[in-house]
Homo-oligomer: A and B are copies of this chain.
């Protein structure tokens, strides 16, 4: 029964790769039971095969040549964990064309080249799986491919980046400013030395492209997703958000419209009592709205080596099970819809404006006119004195729903008004 032996080739032995290798060794019996055959680590691509390593991978399996993994006839499944677009994309292509199943955690590759790779995999009868690419250990890809398959999905609202959620949590709960919160995240290893991909929203946009493709059965170019990071947020914004009953989160949003999909990643005000507002620290949460299943939410830690290993090993087991049973079950992308991403100018939402204004009578009238001229009407305003000597005040405005193009136009106009000292911030509201 446990006769079959499934050969694994690992590309990359960094933090996640080491966690996967560790589990392959330490959980060998459990994994063999689940797969119906044993999983054996045959080859591991590393930068330096001679570097001493803390885990007990046999030195003879280490190689610094990718071709030794990709062409090893004993390797049935290639696990790609080197990250980045190149050469990961090419390695995955090679693995597929030489008849090896592939497991990857690479969001950038799957967001940018998922369609081509899945098509290539289908052509070669290969299973290409990528559960770890979004939400790490939180089951998502497979629920989208399988459990929600009968649904028409209308919207996804998600916290897909643990680093930024950690920073926002510290800013909200402890009143830290952005640089301090980022610094602490870096010290704790939650943010990288170069945190751009996380804090600018690029990472979340890749993940949103992957989920949206599964949800809406269409290809989307992640570069077309509107993306705005969290570095402009200030302590005051969190205070005003709370006063109005909101929390501030970096959300990845996708909403089905007629022949398009609204897709965007940016900070939003969301009602304090909403499920997503309560997601704190490095946790991720993905809320999916659909016709049959209603609102379903998935919540868990979206980062960490063992979290990713959980998803990578799940994919590996699914493939290994099929190999042991001699069946070939692959996922076929149903990308028959040709949907465009809705232009950002056309989206409609509510807005929060924070302005530093002259503290005179008539100022609000000028500001409401600048907004009204662009079809934006105010739902509430609070004014706080901030500098009595300079006769300046802070004006916080919440609007009714309006089109983004109007909001952008009024931002420009507000900037030209002499009574406006500064347009301090502008944040979208998501109910």
Contacts and interface: CB of A to CB of B under 8 A. Distances in A.
A152 B36 CA distance: 17
Stoichiometry, copies per complex: 2
Given A143-B139, A309-B150, A293 B300 contact: yes
Contacts of A328: 327
B300 A146 contact: no
Nearest to A294: B301
B137 A31 contact: no
Interface residues of A, number: 54
Contacts of A138: 293, 296
Interface stretch (A60-68, A229-237, A329-337): A329-337
A149 interface: yes
Interface string A29-53: 0110110100000000000000000
A160 interface: no
A409 interface: no
Interface stretch (A87-95, A312-320, A347-355, A416-424): A312-320
Nearest to A24: B150
Interface string A298-327: 111100101101110110111000100101
A186 interface: no
7 contacts: A27-B152, A147-B310, A147-B314, A150-B317, A297-B298, A325-B329, A327-B327
4 nearest CB pairs, A to B: A150-B313, A139-B147, A137-B293, A292-B310
